[in-house]
Structure 1
Amino acid sequence: MLLHMSKELIINATENETRVALLEDGILAEFFMERGNHLNISGNIYKARVNRVLPGMQAAFVDIGLDQAAFIYVTDVFSEPSREVENIFNETAEEPEPVAVAREDEFDLSVPVPPADVKIEDLLSEGQEILVQVSKSPIGSKGARITTRISLPGRFLVLMPTVDHVGVSKRIVEDGERQRLKELVVSLRTEPFGFIVRTAAEGVEKEKLEKEMILLVNLWQKVQKRFASASAPALLHRDMTVSLRAVRDYLTHEADRVVVDADYVYDEIMTFLDEIMPRMKASVERYTGSEPIFDAYNIEGDVFRSLKKKVWLKSGGYIIIEPTEALVVIDVNTGGYVGKHNFEETVFKTNLEAAREIAYQIRLRNLGGIIIIDFIDMAREANREKVFVSLKEFLEKDKSKTTLLPFSELGLIQMTRKRTRNSVARMLCEPCFYCNGDGYLLSRQTICFNIYREIMRESQDLSGEKITVKVHPDIAEMLHGEESRVVTGLEADLGRQIIIYPVPKFHIEQFEIEEIL
């Protein structure tokens, strides 16, 4: 018998920042954040202007009013009559990504590929004004991904005004209920718009579905009117705040309660629930404790621990998580775990424990793209299979789409995870101003030898009796200590006194060479 897992949404809101934590049995499972002008723009709808068409990539750069140009592929502007998309929204449609816009490509279904003779240059031209929606927010140096296939998500339905088909979330498994919902939506439609019936609609009566359908259609009509009157680029519709999206996507079927520490967010949530699901208002609690809410629920430390490269396992082993520009590499090590019987058993148990932790960390950190996992080598094929199956089971909690491949000949597991928003590290961190994101600095010994070579290089142009070298205090200490032979060697070679001068404000790799006449 499966025990019920308690789930809570903890919301910390200030004027410039809103943070949402999903706790599962008191443990941080997912983390979302919006800050000031850096809000997640997924779901926003814009009147945009085409800047540049790229026939070689079958794509275009589009101005939506941000510093970075947005990017659109030919598959996202191609549109055929509704019968052509019958295969997209079928009876196996998946639920949209939580706390993200409900886009077609988040239903684990393929976007229709245009015929070979349909080219981006036939569909778009420079200066053209188009209606687009952000399907993926800017991530790092990459601009927003956009589409002309608009979707407007509600609590029970997702309106797809550019297609004419009705699909039902595959998480509704009972055939009779699936048929009831599909027939209801088809009978309620007044326009040939497409709809996806979300999991939350299971058991919902006709009146609620009709009310939401009217609201979504009215919203679409408002967007069209704004498009007709606005000058490009212009924002026509802003998606919900992160707190409302979290409440909409988690409260009914996932979270048992919501705890929020700000009056205005509490009021916003209560008003929102009053419109779409009044019975859930009792699940919302206003936090009034004196301790900061993230401290009271032990979240603050967990968030910052999720930024660490090394994650310790209970057994004494550990995993190393190394995100790069193109992929994420995860390495498993036994660490201090020596086992009780033999090496194969030690490795197998470490890998099993690591599989659970890796699935948890991928979800918590919101790692996306290509992920390569290097488990410790196992001699037995049966053990490799058990580790693979365990990892696959642990990843089932993850709402983001993942694709997992078995162990390769090199003993690696390759997987992909849908990237829909920035990782926790990208949200909270920026490249190190010391190493510019390289992750390494020159060693102090290397810097000392660099100073030696630079002085020798410049010595012919220096005529003073003394040479002053300004350096970071750590380098000064080393030149007076472990590497004092660098200084004495220079003095002997050049016949001049070398004075080391520490400058606290210097970067550790920085130094300046001056002569004293």
Structure 2
Amino acid sequence: MTNNKQIYISVEPHEKRLAIVKDKCLEKYYVERPQDAQILGNIYKGRVASVVNGIAAAFVDLGIGKNGFLHLSDLVKPSEGYEDILQEDEGTVLIKEDKKPGGRIGDLIKNGQDLIVQVAKEALGSKGVRITSHIALPGRYLVFMPYEDHLGVSKRISDPSERRRIKEVLKEIRIPKGVGIIVRTAGEHCGKKEFITDIKYLTRLWKNIQAHSGRAKSPAIIHQEYDIILRILRDQLSEEIDAIYVDSPPEFKRIRHFIGMLMPKFKNKLKLYTGSKPLFEDMGIDRDIEKIYNRTVYLKCGGYITIEQTEGLVAVDVNSGKFKGKKGPREMALRVNVEAAQEAARQIHLRNLGGIVIIDFIDMDSKGERDQVFATLVEAMKEDKAKTNILPISEIGIVQLTRQRVTKSLEGISYSACPCCHGKGLVKSASTMAIKALREVYSKLNGRKGVSVSITAHPDVAAKLSGDFADSITRLERQLRSRINVKGDSSLHLEELRIVTG
């Protein structure tokens, strides 16, 4: 029996893309470009550039331009930053208690000191990368933490008997002294052999990093995390996947070696695509990818949702659209909201939307119906591995949630701010600019009379001045005893004016 779920990998000189498709529907999409390659998980030998006791933090030179931000909490206590590095919520329960941070950061590190640190959060907007001194090396089934001394099991492994079994297996394994181990969700039902293979691999990796650190002069990178392809395969390849299609022979060989080393039981799932058409075009994935960037997403029931990203939050608005129910507005609201809850969860993950997300559902009078919609959203969000916190639905149908944001959204990778509106999504109207032009003429002349004036503007603004505002120009000419000439120039931005007096 097949699960009808596949992974498609397309590799081009300037871009790597990976899509996960389930039942012919795009479920997940990832893209990486050389100039925007992710540094999350990279390990650096950095040098402390400055220590600021007032904010309990230090800035560390990593050799990447902007200094990394190291907070006291990422320096003195076992960090949960490995969840950021994995970009998923393992919800780990530790067997050993952590100590709370305390003291001054200036008492622990000094300017010029070398530190081994790992990137726990990518630079977003004006913020630099966030780093931690508590290293976490993810394997297929385990997370290897060389500076911690505790064992843990993912909370997503919820069966008490399975949790006990895993702990017993870990007790039988020889774990390097002083090393912490977290069993990932993928470790459920795994045996001693799989855990030992992971530990051996991660121990060798850590020894190589230590050796590199000893030779390197700070600031320097001493370990680079896998690229998007190997990272997703390591973290998400499972029995659910029927096949992995790759369109590049060199990439096929690289992936085959990686899977053979880390997950040999999945080796037979890998297939080289040799079709005449581009892989993503042939499978209809390109068409689905284009829809990800649309502001409006239409639902099967006839309703739709609109998604607006701002610097502070993401707003999702649910609308009934063309839905026509037979039982009236109450049935309409419930059916559209249920479908919208499922689609909103899918879009949040597909677009990699992070931070604060507000979903405005259609009003529902019944608490039972609101609870049903909320339960649908919570269930749909369980498919998302990113750490999320969802607040209960309000009486007016508003749901607030936060989603772990450690990398750019898909829109942030694929789009830049519009050079015309500078990201506002709006430009001033031709009428507004025509009025502004007349004001600037009056201000520029400053009471002088008999001076000729030339206004050069975008053709739409010039047309407005010569048409609707022709009477205003005539009155201004009489008032100032001046001649005002208007010219259109298509090379000018709609909000750009050139006013010359002579």
For each residue in 1:443-495, what CA deviation from the matched residue of structure 2 results, as whole angstroms up to 9, or x when unmatched? 11111111111112223476666432111122223333444444444444444
Distance 1:133 1:298, change over 3 A: same
What amino acid is aligned across from residue 449 of structure 1 in structure 2?
Answer: I
What residue in structure 2 maps to residue 501 of structure 1?
Answer: 487
TM-score, normalised by the number of residues in structure 1: 0.88
What residue in structure 2 maps to residue 381 of structure 1?
Answer: 367
What residue in structure 1 maps to residue 139 of structure 2?
Answer: 154
Equivalent residue in structure 1 for 2:346, among 349, 352, 360: 360
CA distance in 1, matches of 2:222, 2:299: 48
Give the match's secondary structure for 1:150: coil
For each residue in 1:50-90, what CA deviation from the matched residue of structure 2 results, as whole angstroms up to 9, or x when unmatched? 222222222222211122221122111004xxxxx6xx99x
What amino acid is aligned across from residue 373 of structure 1 in structure 2?
Answer: I
Give 1:120 deviation, angstroms. 1.8
What amino acid is aligned across from residue 359 of structure 1 in structure 2?
Answer: A
Equivalent residue in structure 2 for 1:474, among 433, 443, 460: 460
CA distance in 2, matches of 1:364, 1:488: 57
What residue in structure 2 maps to residue 510 of structure 1?
Answer: 496
Give the match's secondary structure for 2:484: strand
For the Cα contact (< 8 Å) 2:295–2:307, is it kept in 1?
yes
Distance 1:449 1:106, change over 3 A: farther
What amino acid is aligned across from residue 299 of structure 1 in structure 2?
Answer: I
CA distance in 2, matches of 1:13, 1:466: 61
For each residue in 1:311-338, what CA deviation from the matched residue of structure 2 results, as whole angstroms up to 9, or x when unmatched? 2333333222222222212222223435
Give 1:268 deviation, angstroms. 0.7
Give the match's secondary structure for 1:101: helix
Give 1:205 deviation, angstroms. 4.5
For the Cα contact (< 8 Å) 1:321–1:329, is it kept in 2?
yes
CA distance in 2, matches of 1:426, 1:349: 32
For the Cα contact (< 8 Å) 1:49–1:233, is it kept in 2?
yes
| Unpaired stretches in structure 2, ≥5 consecutive residues | none
What residue in structure 1 maps to residue 34 of structure 2?
Answer: 36
Question: How do 1:342-357 and structure 2 match up within 5 A?
Answer: 342-357=328-343
What residue in structure 1 maps to residue 60 of structure 2?
Answer: 62
Equivalent residue in structure 2 for 1:371, among 337, 344, 357: 357
What amino acid is aligned across from residue 314 of structure 1 in structure 2?
Answer: K
Equivalent residue in structure 1 for 2:242, among 256, 272, 281: 256
Question: Mean alpha-carbon deviation: is it higher for 431-440 or for 482-491?
Answer: 482-491
Using the aligned pairs only, state the percent identity: 38
Distance 1:181 1:25, change over 3 A: same
For the Cα contact (< 8 Å) 1:449–1:486, is it kept in 2?
no
Give 1:143 deviation, angstroms. 1.2
Give 1:106 deviation, angstroms. 5.2
Distance 1:313 1:105, change over 3 A: closer
What amino acid is aligned across from residue 284 of structure 1 in structure 2?
Answer: L
Distance 1:263 1:231, change over 3 A: same
Question: How do 1:418-437 and structure 2 match up within 5 A?
Answer: 418-437=404-423
- Structure 2 residue 266 is the aligned partner of structure 1 residue 268: no
Distance 1:404 1:202, change over 3 A: closer
Give 1:201 deviation, angstroms. 3.5
What residue in structure 2 maps to residue 107 of structure 1?
Answer: 91
For the Cα contact (< 8 Å) 1:52–1:62, is it kept in 2?
yes
For the Cα contact (< 8 Å) 2:122–2:130, is it kept in 1?
yes
For the Cα contact (< 8 Å) 1:352–1:387, is it kept in 2?
yes
Give the match's secondary structure for 2:200: helix
- Structure 2 residue 5 is the aligned partner of structure 1 residue 20: no
Question: How do 1:334-349 and structure 2 match up within 5 A?
Answer: 334-337=320-323, 339-349=325-335
Distance 1:243 1:462, change over 3 A: farther
For the Cα contact (< 8 Å) 2:325–2:331, is it kept in 1?
yes
What amino acid is aligned across from residue 113 of structure 2 in structure 1?
Answer: Q
For each residue in 1:247-269, what CA deviation from the matched residue of structure 2 results, as whole angstroms up to 9, or x when unmatched? 11222244322111122211110
Give 1:149 deviation, angstroms. 1.0
CA distance in 2, matches of 1:42, 1:227: 18
For each residue in 1:1-40, what CA deviation from the matched residue of structure 2 results, as whole angstroms up to 9, or x when unmatched? xx97522221121223211112222222222222113211
For the Cα contact (< 8 Å) 1:251–1:257, is it kept in 2?
no
What residue in structure 2 maps to residue 137 of structure 1?
Answer: 122
What residue in structure 2 maps to residue 82 of structure 1?
Answer: none
Give the CA RMSD over aligned residues: 2.8
Distance 1:107 1:61, change over 3 A: farther
What amino acid is aligned across from residue 477 of structure 1 in structure 2?
Answer: A
CA distance in 1, matches of 2:97, 2:403: 21
What amino acid is aligned across from residue 267 of structure 1 in structure 2?
Answer: K
What residue in structure 1 maps to residue 282 of structure 2?
Answer: 296
CA distance in 1, matches of 2:88, 2:236: 20
TM-score, normalised by the number of residues in structure 2: 0.91
- Structure 2 residue 295 is the aligned partner of structure 1 residue 309: yes
Equivalent residue in structure 2 for 1:166, among 151, 154, 161: 151
CA distance in 1, matches of 2:92, 2:200: 27
Q: How many residues align?
A: 500
